[in-house]
Amino acid sequence: MRPDVIDAFHLPAIEHPRTNTWAYGRGEDAFEVRIPRLSPVDLKRQVEALSIARDRLLADRPVAEIVGVVDRVAARFLDPEDPLRRAAERALPAVTSYSPAMIRLVLDRMAADWRAPRLRELLRAEFGDPRVLDGFVPAPRAHGRQAAFGPRLAVHVFSGNVPGVAVTSIIRSLLVKAGTLGKAAVGEPLLAALFARGVAEADAELGACLAVTYWAGGDEMMERAALDAADAVIVYGGAEAVASIRAKTPTTARFLGYGPKVSFGVVARGALTEEGAREAARGAALDASTFDQQGCVSPHLFYVEQGGAVDPEAWAAMLAEAMAETEGTLPRGVLAPGESSAIRQLRGEAEFAEAGGGGLRLHASVEGTAWTVVYDPRPDFTASCLNRVVRVKPVACLEEVPVLVERFSPVLQTVGVAGSAEETRALAMALGRIGASRFAPLGRMAWPPPWWHHDGRPPLRDLVRYVDLEE
C-alpha cells in the first residue's frame, strides 16, 4: 500500500511543480513529503506573480479582513478533527524529531497567538490605530496624517529548530500587506506550507499573494531569483546563514536577520522559600524542556542567589525532580547520535569532577539521556549542549549576574526571573544595558506574546515605511 503523501509547498503560480519525495516513518506509520524541485526560472516566475498579486489583490485590502482570514486558518490548527491539524500532528514528530506531546503543545500555543484577538492586540501595540495600514489617519501629537506601507515583496528564509516560528513570520508579513515568499528549512519543511494551503482554502485572493517552497541552502542561482526583487528580507538561522543571505540582499531592500541567541534564568533569594523554590523549579524545568532547549528563548543555565531558605545546591536537586516530572508529561524527542554522544561526554566529565571534590553535583535521568542537571559552583556562564542539559550556578548577590554574562552580550536574549517586581526591574535595567531584550517569569520563557520585540525589534513597524501628509 502506498504511504500517505503530504505536499510541503504552496506555489500558486506553478500548477504542477516537479517534486522529490522524502520518506518518513516505518510500516503503518510511514508517509512521504513531496518537496518542490524548482529551477531558478520557476522561482522567478513565482516571485513575479507574487508582486503582481500583491498589487492587485492585497495592497488595498483592509487589514481587518486579513486578520479574519488568518483567524479562520488558526482555528483549523486548533481543531483536533481538522485535516490541517491532523496532518501537522501526524507528520511533524517524524519530520522534526520532537515528541508528539511537544508538537501538540506547540500547535496549541502558537495557533492561539494566530487568532484574531491576539493579532488585534499586536496591531494596536505596534500602530495604535491599525487603520494606518489602510490609508492616512491622524498622526499622534502632530498636525497632519500618516500612513504605513509594507513591502511589495518580502522574502523569508526560515530555520527548522522551532516549528511555528515560520508561520508567525508569514502572518506578520501578510498583516502589512506584503507579497510573501517563504523558504522552508530542511529540518522542518512542512508547517508553513500547511498554513499557506489553509490561507488559500480560506481566501483564494490572499492565497495568491503567498508562496512557500524549499531549495537547498547556498544555491546561489535560486537565492538570486528570490532576492533580486525583494523589498524586505527576513532570515532566521545560524550566524553563517544570516551573514550569507545578508551579503546577497540588494542594498535597496530592508534586511532583518535573527541569528543565534542564548537565554538563561535567575532565581532571587526572596523566591527561595520552600514553596517558592519548588514553584521556580517547576517553571525552570518547563522552560528548559520546551522545544527540547532548541529555541533562542530556551535557558542554558540558572543563576541562584545565595542566602535564601533553600540554598542553590538544594534548588538544583529540586530542578532535577521537576525535570523528571516534565519528562513524564512532555517527553523529549529523538536525538541524533552526535547529540546523544555530547550529553554522555558531558555527564562523564561531570562525574569525574564530582568524584574529585570541589562541590560539583550531577543529577541525571536514570534511563537514557532525557535530562541532565549539573550543580556547578563555578560562576562563569557556560553554554549548554542543549537537549535538556542545564547548569545551576550560585551567586552571592544578583548584582554579580551582569558581570558574569557580559561577554555574551551580543547574543543575549531572554532572561527568566523568579523574584520580586523590584528585583526583576533592577535586573532588567542592568542586563538590558548589555544586550538582553526580554524578561519573563520562570515558566513563561518559551512563549513570548505576539507583540514582543524579537531581539529588541518591533515585530511589524520594522517592516513598514511611513508616509507623512502635512496639513
Task: State pLDDT tens for residues 288-346.
Answer: 999 999 999 999 999 999 999 999 999 999 999 999 999 999 999 999 999 999 999 99
Indicate the CATH number of 262-441 among 3.30.360.10, 3.40.309.10, 1.10.10.10, 3.40.50.300: 3.40.309.10
Instruction: Give the domain ranges of the chain.
Output: 4-259+455-470, 262-441
Cβ(210)–Cβ(170) under 8 Å?
Answer: yes
Cβ(369)–Cβ(337) under 8 Å?
Answer: no
Coil/strand/helix, residue 5 = strand
Which fold, 4-259+455-470? Answer: Aldehyde Dehydrogenase; Chain A, domain 1 (3.40.605)
Distance of CA 297 to CAs 290, 408, 448, 449, Å? 10, 15, 9, 12
Grade residue 162 by pLDDT with cuts at 50, 70 and 90: very high
In tens, the pLDDT along 369-411 reads 999 999 999 999 999 999 999 999 999 999 999 999 999 999 9
Average pLDDT of the chain to the nearest whole number: 97
Q: Residue 471's pLDDT is what? A: 85
Q: Residue 3's pLDDT is what? A: 60
Cβ(54)–Cβ(62) under 8 Å?
Answer: no
Report the percent of the chain where pLDDT is more than 90.
Answer: 97
Between strands 412-418 and 262-267, the pairing is parallel
pLDDT at 149 over 70: yes
Distance (Å, rounded) from C-alpha 332 to C-alpha 339?
A: 13
Average pLDDT score over residue span 407-424: 97
Cβ(163)–Cβ(149) under 8 Å?
Answer: no
Grade residue 1 by pLDDT with cuts at 50, 70 and 90: very low
Helix axes 83-96, 100-113, angle to 10 degrees: 130
Distance (Å, rounded) from C-alpha 88 to C-alpha 468?
A: 44
In tens, the pLDDT along 206-232 reads 999 999 999 999 999 999 999 999 999
Cβ(114)–Cβ(167) under 8 Å?
Answer: yes
In tens, the pLDDT along 227-260 reads 999 999 999 999 999 999 999 999 999 999 999 9
Overall pTM > 0.95: yes
Distance (Å, rounded) from C-alpha 371 to C-alpha 438?
A: 26
Which three cell numbers, joined as nine digits, stand for 160? 527548522
Please give the torsion angle defined by the CA atoms of residues 449, 451, 456 and 459, in that order, rounded to the nearest 10 degrees: 130
